[in-house]
Amino acid sequence: MLTKTKSRMKEHYNCFYTFNDENLFINSSETQGIYPNIIEKTIEQLDICLNKFGRVLVVRFDLSLDEYSGDNHTISIFLNRLKDKLFKLKKYRRMKDIGHVWVREQEVSKQQHYHVALFLNGNKIQHPSKLLQYIKAKWYKHGRLWIPKKEHIDDDGCFYFIDKKKEGFREQRGKAIYRLSYLGKTRGKGYKDAQAKNYSVSRLSR
């Protein structure tokens, strides 16, 4: 039987959250809590990428494992190799400074899954279709890739293209943050080895 490790992180139960004097609309409620620490670090990395590149492609997908693991070695190694590959591929023109966030969750299944987001230089890549095909092929030996589908006109599906010079920049960034805030939810986290993390965020510097 799985045992849940108790998190020491602060919890937040409201659809609005203030960070750096900005009032953010997030995916939370009085009954659905989030961990602000995850959201804050995620926004910091997104904004660092926006300041570096001016245009950022945010890509959201989920990765499941065929077998349970108490640690996160598989996804850590996978993302490191993915970033190395993107730097070497000519069509992405030596892409570097790739931001990421992943969270580990497990609810009804016997294996954990990961919600993942990548923050990519929008001057080098504007659409994630080929990238997701590559991820699916390489992750296949570990488990399955799930890609969110576009369900209605205001839904951006699995990606957001944010351009600081475009008129709708603030709105698009806000929509991405709302989507990313789902990764901070308290439900499903904690089923892991005691020393393993519930989440990981890249450490790009300004």
Maximum distance among all Cα pairs of the chain, rounded to whole angstroms: 52
- The CA distance from 41 to 47, in Å, is 10
pTM: 0.93
22-25 vs 16-19, strand pairing mode = antiparallel
Residue 11 phi/psi, 5-degree rounding, is -115, 155
Q: How far is CA 169 from CA 41, 52, 86, 89, 110, in A?
A: 20, 15, 26, 29, 41
102 strand-pairing partners: 116, 200
Which pLDDT value is given to residue 150? 73
What pLDDT score was predicted for residue 157? 84
Structure tokens belonging to residue 169: 């920049």
* Strand (E) or helix (H) holding 119: strand 113-121
In this structure, are residues 158 and 132 in contact, taking their beta carbons and an 8 Å threshold? yes
Domain limits, the chain: 16-201
Residue 105's DSSP bridge partners are 113
Query: What is d(CA 192, CA 102) in angstroms, rounded to the nearest whole number?
Result: 15
For the segment 108-121, what is each residue's pLDDT rounded down to a tens digit? Answer: 888 999 999 999 99
Residue ranges for the chain with pLDDT beneath 70:
1-6, 151-155
- Residue 27: Cβ-neighbour burial (10 angstroms; 0-12, 13-18, 19+): middle
Q: 31-62, pLDDT tens digit by residue?
A: 999 999 999 999 999 999 999 999 999 999 99
Contact criterion met (CB below 8 Å) for 145 and 62: yes
C-alpha to C-alpha distance for 155 and 135, rounded to whole angstroms: 22
**Amino acid at residue number 106:** Q
**Strand, helix or coil for residue 172:** helix
